[in-house]
Amino acid sequence: MDDAGASLAAQMSAMGRGAREAAAVLRLGDAATRTRALTAMAAAIRADAADILAANARDVAAAKASGMASAMVDRLLLDEARVEAMAKGVETVAAIRDPLGAELDRWDRPNGLDIARIRTPIGVIGIIYESRPNVTADAAALCLRAGNAVILRGGSECLASNLAIHAAVAKGLSAAGLPETCVQIVRTADRAAVGLMLTGLEGAIDLLIPRGGKGLVARVREEARGVAVLGHLEGLVHVFLHASADLEKATAIAVNAKLRRVSVCGAAETLLVDSADAQRLLPPVAQALRDAGCELRGDARARALVPGMADATEEDWRTEYLAPILSVAVVDGVDGAAAHIAKYGSAHTDAIVAEDGAAAERFAALVDSAIVLINASTQFADGGEFGFGAEIGIATDRLHARGPVGAEQLTTYKYVVRGTGQTRP
Amino acid sequence: MDDAGASLAAQMSAMGRGAREAAAVLRLGDAATRTRALTAMAAAIRADAADILAANARDVAAAKASGMASAMVDRLLLDEARVEAMAKGVETVAAIRDPLGAELDRWDRPNGLDIARIRTPIGVIGIIYESRPNVTADAAALCLRAGNAVILRGGSECLASNLAIHAAVAKGLSAAGLPETCVQIVRTADRAAVGLMLTGLEGAIDLLIPRGGKGLVARVREEARGVAVLGHLEGLVHVFLHASADLEKATAIAVNAKLRRVSVCGAAETLLVDSADAQRLLPPVAQALRDAGCELRGDARARALVPGMADATEEDWRTEYLAPILSVAVVDGVDGAAAHIAKYGSAHTDAIVAEDGAAAERFAALVDSAIVLINASTQFADGGEFGFGAEIGIATDRLHARGPVGAEQLTTYKYVVRGTGQTRP
């Protein structure tokens, strides 16, 4: 390791120790203090808007100079409305019910032991993310609401923006008398910092959350060593139109699921249509999608019903387009739809449109995704829409938490067992 | 890879695929079928007792011939009572409430969406364990109760016993019409099989659970690649006698926590005594422990009160003896006890003995262990004692599940969102 590497390692170790100390303070702190810090953070973000925008302008200029694609530049870009939305997001988290201390379960044993399961913080969370600078504020707010210390490592392309937002976050912590090490940010673009986080910083990090593209999430999952990872993989999202579907609902949901925003993980990527009534459903829905600017790629049965569709390849069924492109397959009933989803889906979010309640419930049972929607758009796959205030992302792993990860999903629990002197025979 | 290696890899891949298929069947199966299989398993274990004991005799003979220590041989050894206990254990799991399908939460959103959180199986679990052959039956039963397929890999020293128990388990599955791949066992002592499981068998394994010694658990945690691990680390368990402790309860709890069984993870390893009343508490408790055959190693303050104690080294505070040895320290109040536990404990199980309720509750808040007991023996750290029927072990990681891992802890959840055609604005 060279001098710079040793110095970075020492800095990251110190962050780990600082985070652990902060976690110990937070674990014993009260909800009112956490709320006060969150409210002060939102105020500081508003007060610092000019600084945040100036820092962001530097990031954007550098990104443009480096030849970054304009869609990517747009993800970096902040304006007054986006800064205000960030402050509002933090206020929403300040307003949700504090998850800590809740009694999740409680029962008595025949020997008189009283067992309570109590919600507690996880401890120290490491978040590795890309692009959108609002993640800095969202992640800080959610971790704090759940009583966790957090170490943030954002993308190098918005380091200046992230540091400016973090400065406001730190003011909020300080206003509430909380240690600034409750929310720390890696202040260098050196990718070696990520490597150090993947080792858990000598046991300081309890959970790593990658948020970003497939490459980032895959790297964190594969390279994390001895530290748990909560993965947010792609959303290969399906909408299935059952033979019993109402055409108006089917059309509205398919168009909204695909096109409301094409770049979110809850955007539909494949439309499945029941062969039992595809002739009624597919042509008008396809027309509505095309009218709204969507390109369609179909299997043979879909193309027989909708002229001019491109041929969907095997690759199409596995592709998260994040673009106004939709693959379309005709399948045989609920079981055919579920089989397609099991083969190609990412267990993120899938929807059925059906008036037949039994068919809808069978779909909900067969499809093993974090979120299954009946007669609603897949774009509701979002922590805010679930009432969580905000989210770190949608978890697609099967352990700990599935679906939107809000403050409650960033907690764990412990048992408190109260006795009167019991010993075990 | 040589031919044998390639053949093992192919076998393990096939097990992974078989498990995934079984998981799909189990996910849609009903509780009654799972219960039928469990009841039939218990019956088959009883019916096969002679075969199981004969196989076990071969393992024990081989272990003795290899010069294995007699305490270790005892862990392998089955007799009629232990086989009956195994069958009873499976029946207990058959009798507990089936965890699947339970509605964990349900709420409406202002837009009319009805969001339900439903308990579902994790999928495929890999369990890597050592020694005690009863784990084969316990793990199979708990995984099945929770609707998971499982791949078992027991210690090579009891392979014959494990295969015989597995044969009975398979009969139970078959009697209920469930695929035999619901519970599979690695049929070779080749350690390369563990290495393959640590890679997740091409995504087939959703969760790895190591159950055994520190070395095994550490290896699984460090070497698992892209697959989640639920860790069961050591129990560095403390009993703290607060100044307000009732002497009779303190004595009974300290002796029981240390000596009821010294080899379990819930056995106490360190006794902490409040300096505010150590003179009243420590000498009689130490005497009772010595009378029961326990060796004591103390810090300076403890040795001043109890003559003839060995000097506890720094290493002692970090040692899980699993033997009739106890380290003893005098600490200053609840905060001193909590600080000692934070520094040396393993966040597994810790107890306070106190008549002062406020002190006890402060201890419960300060000590961040999976199980905190007030006025009860740490030997209650056990899934059976919690009412879980049985357990795979006590989880010491912070994610997904903490404390005893029973059937409920082997589940995850999904959201079913019911709408009436909602699209997202």
Q: What is the DSSP letter of B385?
A: H
A41: closest CA of chain B, how far (Å): 27
The residue in chain B having the minimum alpha-carbon distance to the alpha carbon of residue A347 is B414
> How far apart are alpha carbons B302 and B288 in whole angstroms?
15
pLDDT digits (tens, 9 = 90+) for A296-334: 999 999 999 999 999 999 999 999 998 999 999 999 999
Report the C-alpha gap between A390 and B217 in whole angstroms. 36
Give a three-class secondary structure readout of chain A.
CCHHHHHHHHHHHHHHHHHHHHHHHHHHCCHHHHHHHHHHHHHHHHHCHHHHHHHHHHHHHHHHHCCCCHHHHHHHCCCHHHHHHHHHHHHHHHHCCCCCCCEEEEEECCCCCEEEEEEEECCEEEEEECCCCHHHHHHHHHHHHCCCEEEEECCHHHHHHHHHHHHHHHHHHHHCCCCHHHEEECCCCCCHHHHHHHCCCCCCCCEEEEECCHHHHHHHHHHCCCCEECCCCCCCEEEEECCCCCHHHHHHHHHHHHHCCCCCCCCEEEEEEEHHHHHHHHHHHHHHHHHCCCEEEECHHHHHHCCCCEECCHHHHCCCCCCCEEEEEEECHHHHHHHHHHHHCCCCEEEEECCCHHHHHHHHHHCCCCEEEEEECHHHCCHHHHCCCCCCCEECCCCCCCEECCCHHHEEEEEEEEEEEECCC
Residue B133's closest CA among B51, B220, B16, B19?
B51
For residue A395, the chain B residue with the least C-alpha distance is B414
* Cβ distance of A28 and B365 shorter than 8 Å: yes
* pLDDT per residue as tens digits for the range B20-63: 999 999 998 999 999 999 999 999 999 999 999 999 999 999 99
Residue of chain A with shortest Cα separation from B255 = A423
Instruction: Identify the sign of the CA torsion A74, A320, A208, B103.
Output: positive
CA distances from B334 to B72, B242, B306, B377 (A): 38, 7, 22, 18
Of B342, B387, B397, the CB nearest to A109: B387
Mean pLDDT, range B176-197, rounded to an integer: 96
What is the mean pLDDT of the segment spanning A180-190?
A: 96
Chain B: give the shortest CA distance to residue A422, in Å: 5
Would you state the pLDDT for residue B11? 95
Residues of chain A within CATH 3.40.605.10 domain(s) are: 8-232+401-417
Chain A residue numbers with beta carbons less than 8 Å from the beta carbon of B365 are 28
Instruction: For residue B419, give the nearest of A374, A402, A420 by CB distance.
Output: A374
More confident residue, A15 or B215: A15
**Residues in chain B within 8 Å Cβ distance of A248:** 421
Q: How does the average pLDDT of chain B come out, rounded? A: 95
Is A419's CB within 8 Å of B375's CB?
yes
Q: Considering chain A, what is the average pLDDT of its residues? A: 95
> Please, is A6 exposed, middle or buried when counting C-beta atoms within 10 Å of its C-beta (0-12, 13-18, 19+)?
exposed
Do residue B253 and residue A371 have CB atoms under 8 angstroms apart?
no
How much is the average pLDDT of A49-70?
A: 95
Chain B positions in Cβ-Cβ contact with residue A207 (cut-off 8 Å): 398-399
Q: How far apart are CA B359 and CA B243, in angstroms?
A: 10
Determine whether the interchain pair B375/A420 forms a contact, defined as Cβ–Cβ distance below 8 Å.
Answer: yes
Region class of B202: left (phi > 0), else alpha (psi between -120 and 50), else beta: left
CB-CB neighbors (< 8 A) of B253 in chain A: 421, 423
Chain B residues near residue A364 by CB distance under 8 angstroms:
416
Separation in Å, CA of B51 to nearest CA in chain A: 32
Closest-CA residue of B relative to A404 is B415
Nearest CA in chain A to B385: A109
Beta bridge partners of B327: B270, B297
User: Residue holding tokens 């205030």?
Assistant: A389
Q: Do A260 and B377 touch (CB under 8 A)?
A: no
Q: How far is B12 from chain A (nearest CA, A)?
A: 21
**Nearest neighbour of A418 by CB, restricted to B228, B229, B374:** B374
Q: Any idea which residue has 């005690």 for tokens?
A: B132
Q: What is the C-alpha to C-alpha distance for residues A383 and A402, in angstroms, rounded to an integer?
A: 11
Residues 6+ apart with CB under 8 A from A379: A256, A257, A260, A261, A264, A266, A267, B423, B424
B222 interaction partners in chain A (CB closer than 8 Å): 225-226
Identify the closest residue of chain A to B250 by CA–CA distance.
A421
Size of interface A-B (CB pairs under 8 A): 193
Both tokens of B272, joined, read 């902490």
Measured between beta carbons, the chain B residues lying within 8 angstroms of A420 are: 375-376
User: Which residues 6+ apart lie within 8 Å of A291 measured at CB?
Assistant: none
Give A-chain residues touching B380 at CB under 8 angstroms.
Answer: 113, 417, 419, 422, 424
Q: Of all residues in chain B, what percent carry a pLDDT higher than 70?
A: 100
Judged against a pLDDT cut of 80, whether residue B232 lies above it is answered with no
Interchain pair A399, B228: CB under 8 A: yes
Task: Determine whether the interchain pair B418/A374 forms a contact, defined as Cβ–Cβ distance below 8 Å.
Answer: yes
β A394-395/A403-404 pair status: antiparallel
CATH number of A8-232+401-417: 3.40.605.10
Q: Closest chain B residue to A122 measured between Cα atoms?
A: B398
pLDDT band at A390 (very low <50, low <70, confident <90, very high): confident
- pLDDT at residue A1 is higher than 70: no
Chain A interface test: which of B207, B262, B416, B420 (most A C-beta within 10 Å): B416
Considering only CB atoms, which chain B residues are within 8 Å of A377? Answer: 422-424
Mean pLDDT of B134-163: 96
Residue range(s) in chain A whose domain bears CATH number 3.40.309.10: 237-385
Q: Above 80 in pLDDT, residue A365? A: yes
Nearest CB to B256; choose among A257, A400, A424: A424
* Interface contact A222-B225, CB threshold 8 A: yes
Sequence ranges of chain B with CATH classification 3.40.309.10: 237-382
Q: Do A256 and B423 touch (CB under 8 A)?
A: yes
Percent of chain A with pLDDT over 90: 85
Domain B237-382, CATH class in plain words: alpha beta
Q: Got the DSSP string for B220-246?
A: HHHH--SSEE-------EEEEE-TT--
Report CB contact under 8 Å: A375, B123: no
Element (H, E) at B12: helix B3-28
Query: What sign for the dihedral angle of Cα A94, A95, A100, A101?
Result: positive
Kindly report, residue by residue over B59-118, the tens digit of the pLDDT: 999 999 999 988 788 889 999 999 999 999 999 999 999 999 999 999 999 999 999 999
Distance between CA atoms of A116 and A146, rounded to whole angstroms? 19
Looking at CATH, the fold of the domain delimited by A237-385 is given as Aldehyde Dehydrogenase; Chain A, domain 2 (3.40.309)
Distance from CA of B340 to the nearest CA of A (A): 14
Calculate the alpha carbon distances from A88 to A81, B212, B220 in Å. Answer: 10, 49, 43
A357: buried, middle or exposed (CB in 10 Å: 19+, 13-18, 0-12)?
Answer: exposed
User: Which CATH number is associated with domain B3-232+401-417?
Assistant: 3.40.605.10
Buried b vs exposed e over B29-51: b needs ≥16 C-beta within 10 Å? beeeebbbbbbbbbbbbbebbee
Report how far residue A308's alpha carbon sits from residue B54's, in angstroms, rounded to the nearest whole number: 71
pLDDT tier at B1 (50, 70, 90 boundaries)?
low
Cβ separation A113–B376 shorter than 8 A: yes
The alpha carbon of residue A31 is apart from the nearest alpha carbon of chain B, in Å, by: 14
pLDDT score of A410: 96
Where do the CATH 3.40.605.10 domains begin and end in chain B?
A: 3-232+401-417
Of B27, B398, B419, the CB nearest to A122: B398
Question: In this model, does residue A371 exceed pLDDT 70?
Answer: yes
Confidence at residue A389, expressed as pLDDT on a 0 to 100 scale: 84
Taking CA atoms, what residue in B is nearest to A101? B365
Q: Which among B113, B228, B421 has the least Cβ separation from residue A252? A: B421
Beta bridge partners of A107: A115
In this predicted structure, what is the pLDDT of residue A263?
Answer: 87
pTM (2 d.p.): 0.92
Contact B399 A222 (CB under 8 A): no
Answer whether A259's CB lies under 8 Å from A273's CB.
no
Pairwise CB contact (< 8 Å): B374 & A256: no
Does the pLDDT value for residue B324 go beyond 80?
yes
Q: A2 burial class (0-12, 13-18, 19+ CB within 10 angstroms)?
A: exposed
Residues of chain A with Cβ-Cβ distance to B385 below 8 Å are: 109, 113, 424
**Of residues A217 and A38, more confidently modeled:** A38
Tell me whether strands B207-211 and B124-129 are parallel, antiparallel or unpaired. Answer: parallel
Which residues of chain A does B249 touch, with a Cβ-Cβ cutoff of 8 Å? Answer: 421
Partner-chain contact A421 B246, CB within 8 Å: yes
Spell out which residues of chain A touch residue B126, defining contact as CB-CB under 8 Å.
none
Q: What is the per-residue pLDDT for A225? A: 84
Return the SS3 of B187. coil
CA distance A87 to A44: 8
In whole angstroms, give the CA distance from residue B418 to residue A361: 10
